[in-house]
Amino acid sequence: MALYQEQQLKVYNSLTSTKEVFTPILPGKVGMYVCGPTVYNFVHLGNCRTFISFDLVYRYLKHLGYQVRYVRNITDVGHMVDDADQGEDKIAKRARIEQIEPMEIVQKYTINFHHILDQFNNLTPSIEPTATGHIIEQIQVIQEIIQKGYAYEVNGSVYFDVLKYNNDHHYGVLSGRKIEDLISNTRDLDGQSDKRNPLDFALWKNAEAQHIMRWPSPWGDGFPGWHLECTAMSTKYLGNHFDIHGGGMDLKFPHHECEIAQNQACSGNTPVNYWMHANMLTLNGKKMAKSTGNNILPEELFSGENSILSKAFAPSVARFFILQAHYRSILDFSDEAILAAEKGFYRLMEALKAINDLPTSNTSSVDISSWRQNCYSAMNDDFNSPILIAQLFEAVRIINLTKESKETITASDLTLLSTTMHDFIFDVLGLQDPVDQQADNDKLEGTVNMLIQMRNLARANKDFAMSDQIRDELAKLGITLKDGKEGTTFSI
């Protein structure tokens, strides 16, 4: 029997603002879509919190025995500055600043994104589609929405008719915003664009002559709107009606609201059963954002090369710190907070290592079965990782008391304690012992250095094809070789 048949999971649904018993559309299978990054800059720690939160959800669903199709997109085109319909594409803007091709920007920051999440020990999604790889599907969705009468074309651009949609459906069903309030807040923008109404949002934008990223369409050369890509890709891989859609709290409106409208207009279906939103990470009490400079990059956290923290911290310590707060609560990051988390993390790791040396008895003075169910009850309550961590520290207390002969435990209970702790610490929370992480890093460094030596030998033998192949294959893995006067070095 699968664990999900024994455990009753409840999920907080942003659509209804209540915790609901999780019942997937197909028994034993879960379809989950999470909005991924716009790859125009290095991912900061606030972004990582969202992806770590949904990695926790993914891990627990898999642990319960569900077959999960986890889709997380890469936004590599069509995302305007400040998420507006007007202005400059973020990727094109970064390409202009760095004086390189937009797709070089995409490649550079996608590799960085994957590298950072690897260090945080995030699992890879089942599918990671890109917006540029699904232009055809996006055009098809637009055509369907136009055919249903909820969109119109003006001067090569296509806009979603929000008022027409709201006459038949409910625009604001997710965010709770009223159409009257939205209209009054945007009335002063009338006449500033081709839109019939300032609430209308772009499905397709006509590309001006200087716009680099452009594709042919029935309405002329242009590029898709930001909201459209997630509708096209989520439904392509999960169907018009799927289980979970996640993202940061800042995406609730307008992005997710627009997704619901697009899907409803196109297919007639309410797209998602459970909407989930992860809250923000603040830094020293203020919102963490690239635009304000109040942010810290994960690499700066891992290396200690920053003006905020007193020392460097291992990726697992940072992950543990993030999971000490519930995903729906605001979490403030500071030097004091992560130092405290580090102490707790190493207490947990030390207790885990001490399990194998505990003495066993014919009787147990502690109820390990009830403690185990408490761990599941915590996660069953909307993935409540801080309560789970509290239960794990209850196990630390049991381990320490048993070590001091103040508690007794049978061999079978000890096995259950050890197995449960390993399951929740490593499989569900996704933590790693930094000693093991360092060993993996040492193995990677040794392997790359061996390949560098092989490449140097190939170059000495004028086997430039092999030399280039080694360099190119490493580049595909996100490892860049740099040839200098003092030899070849590498960076990840």
Tokens of 419: 């197995």
- The tens digit of pLDDT for each residue in 450-470 reads 888 889 888 888 888 888 888
The pLDDT score that the predictor gives to residue 440 is 56
| Amino acid in position 221 | D
The pLDDT score that the predictor gives to residue 87 is 63
The pLDDT score that the predictor gives to residue 190 is 41
The pLDDT score that the predictor gives to residue 282 is 95
- The tens digit of pLDDT for each residue in 14-38 reads 999 999 999 999 999 999 999 999 9
Taking alpha carbons only, the member of 291, 274, 212, 364 closest to residue 46 is 291
Find tokens 């042919």 and name the residue: 216
Distance CA 451, CA 457 (A): 10
Find tokens 């392509």 and name the residue: 236
The pLDDT score that the predictor gives to residue 277 is 98
- The tens digit of pLDDT for each residue in 41-77 reads 999 999 999 999 999 999 999 999 999 999 999 999 8
- The tens digit of pLDDT for each residue in 210-244 reads 888 899 999 999 999 989 999 999 999 999 999 99
Residues (pLDDT < 50) of the chain are 81-82, 187-191
Taking alpha carbons only, the member of 41, 52, 44 closest to residue 76 is 41
Q: Is 140 exposed, middle or buried (0-12, 13-18, 19+ CB in 10 A)?
A: middle
The alpha carbons of the chain give a radius of gyration, in whole angstroms, of 25
Strand partners, 248: 278
The pLDDT score that the predictor gives to residue 85 is 63
Find tokens 């020293």 and name the residue: 284
Strand partners, 482: 489
Which residue stretches of 187-285 are H helix? 226-238, 257-267
